[in-house]
Amino acid sequence: MEAVLTTSMDNQTLLTMQEIRESNARSYPRRLPLAIKRAEGVYVTDMDGKIYIDCLAGAGTLALGHNHAVVREAIEEVLESYLPLHTLDLTTPVKEAFVNEVFEALPKSFAEKAKIQFCGPTGGDAIEAALKLVKTATGNRAILAFQGGYHGSTHGTLSISGTLSPKQKIHALVPDTHFLPYPYEYRCPFGIGKDGHKVSSTYIENLLDDPESGIVRPAGIIVEVVQGEGGSIPAPIEWLKELRRITKERNIPLIIDEVQTGIGRTGKMFAFEHAGIEPDVLVLSKAIGGSLPLSVMIYDRRLDQWEPGAHIGTFRGNQMAMATGKATLKYIKENQLTNKVDEIGAYLKQQLHSIQKSMSSIGEIRGRGLMLGIEIINPAKTANHLGSYPAFPELASKIQQECFNRGLILEVGGRFSTVIRLLPPLIITKEQIDDVLQRFYEAIKSAEDHFGLR
């Protein structure tokens, strides 16, 4: 350790080295300029000894926070057992135990008909697998995705993601991808607000039945139950039920991307449970690996039309990630963490609403469980007919910076980069939430002052 952590390695030295040697595509360090020395629970300590509350948590990956005892024990157990650390897709007792835990966490009716596939370790890898699965099973080629959706950075996943800027310079994205309007009350694609989701489902149903829609029968529809990168936008329950009905009636596989929402984040183990629906294909990554890289796709066995070896990959046997993933799932279940997420998320939302009253730049507070978004707007401009104000990305970025200065790490994203996103570890306590709120309050106050809004 000594050799790595020399005293000359302060934040600035490491950040400068990173800037010189790492890709220009690096992203987080540009907005969160720190180098991390240590991390425990919701806290991280930088090289200069400053302590932060981490409400980014590896973009929602660290369900139990940093270095949770059960995660560390699981790693130690694997090491002591001399299990292979890498196995391709060969099985081991650790893998079997992980699969048991995953299937127990699923709604029973889905688990009974489900198969699991281990994919390359990232969320994007598993989404790629899901696209190929439904194309293989249906023989169809079109994929329907949603505006504002994010599914990864590979060619295939970028093709089905809404985000435009990373697409601009990439030619030959996957053809036969079509985008549908996702319900987003504050910036309603239909200009009607609250009932926009009803128009969206009517539009989708019509599009699928219209023999002149221009879109051939799709291989599948992919959706996030709460859009994450799109700006923490929860889909209305009624819309989700409609989407399930529409796809089921037409036998179109519904792929639910729970890479970010899965494993307790929204106050249920899986976000689709809020709507009482079930996917045909469920994609999980981030938290399922209990801090380590892992991704899986779980799907209705009727779709299992692959030939042997039809979708492979070297890194599908990370034993440590399976052990930490299992330990995480078990801890969430045994400690009824989803109920706590529900409670603490509601408290956080309510307190943010109180802050909203004394600020002029918060347009909307939304989300489910501990996946919340705060839409920052410019109150000095004119609202549209729905009362929604234009985005204010410079202010959102200033708030992020003011939070960072006060030892609070959070992300900014969403359309126009104007949504403050909160994704704290699920183990965060009420006292820690109060601390987050205090720092956020001071940060937004100072940022509003800076722009002369107060």
Q: How far is the CB of 311 from ligand PMP (least distance, A)?
A: 16
Q: Which residue has the tokens 């939302």?
A: 349
Please tell me the distance from the alpha carbon of residue 389 to that of residue 412, in angstroms, as a whole number. 18
**What is the Cα–Cα distance from 227 to 259, expressed in whole angstroms?**
11
Distance, in Å, from the CA atom of 94 to the CA atom of 321, rounded to the nearest integer, reads 10
Residue in this structure with the two tokens 């918060």, named with its chain if needed: 362
Q: Tell me how far apart the alpha carbons of residues 390 and 376 are, in angstroms, rounded to a whole number.
A: 9
Nearest approach, Cβ of residue 100 and ligand PMP (Å): 24
Q: Which residue's CB is nearer to ligand PMP, number 246 or number 259?
A: 259
The position carrying tokens 């607000």 is 193
Rounded to whole angstroms, the Cα distance separating 359 from 454 reads 8
What is the maximum span of the chain, computed from C-alpha positions, in angstroms? 69
Q: Cβ of residue 77: shortest distance to ligand PMP, in angstroms?
A: 26
Rounded least distance, CB 435 to ligand PMP, Å: 26
Distance of closest approach, residue 149 Cβ to ligand PMP, in angstroms = 8
| Smallest distance, ligand PMP to C-beta of residue 345, A | 18
CB of 273 to ligand PMP, least distance (A): 17
What is the rounded CA–CA span in Å between residue 100 and residue 106?
10
Taking the least distance from each CB to ligand PMP, the nearer of 255 and 443 is 255
The string of DSSP letters for 51-76 reads EEEESSHHHHT-TT-BT-HHHHHHHH
Query: Closer to ligand PMP at the Cβ: 122 or 318?
Result: 122
Question: CA separation (Å) from 445 to 102, 239, 390, 433?
Answer: 44, 36, 19, 18
Q: How many residues in total does the chain contain? A: 454
Helix (H) or strand (E) holding 128: helix 123-138
C-beta closer to ligand PMP: residue 262 or 379: 262
CB nearer to ligand PMP: give 233 or 320.
233
Of the pair 161, 201, the CB lying nearest ligand PMP is at: 161
Nearer to ligand PMP, 155 or 353 (CB): 155
| Residue with smaller CB distance to ligand PMP, 46 or 229 | 229
- At closest approach, how far in Å is the CB of 59 from ligand PMP? 5
Contact in structure between 92 and 83 (CB atoms under 8 Å): yes
- How many degrees, rounded to 5, is the angle at CA 383 between CA 149 and CA 380? 110
Catalog residues that contact ligand PMP under the rule CB under 6 A: 59, 122-124, 127, 150-152, 224, 228-229, 257, 259-260, 285
- Ranked by CB distance to ligand PMP, the top (closest) residue is 123
Strand partners, 40: 43
Is 152 or 264 the residue whose CB approaches ligand PMP more closely? 152
Bridge-based pairing state of the strands 254-257 and 281-284:
parallel
Identify whether the C-beta of residue 230 lies closer than 8 Å to the C-beta of residue 162: yes
Residue with Cβ nearer ligand PMP (109 or 165): 165
If you search the block for the tokens 């040697």, which residue do you land on? 21
CB of 154 to ligand PMP, least distance (A): 7
* Angle 186-350-55 from CA coordinates, rounded to 5°: 85
CB 408 within 8 A of CB 436: yes
**Closest distance of CB 157 from ligand PMP, Å:** 7
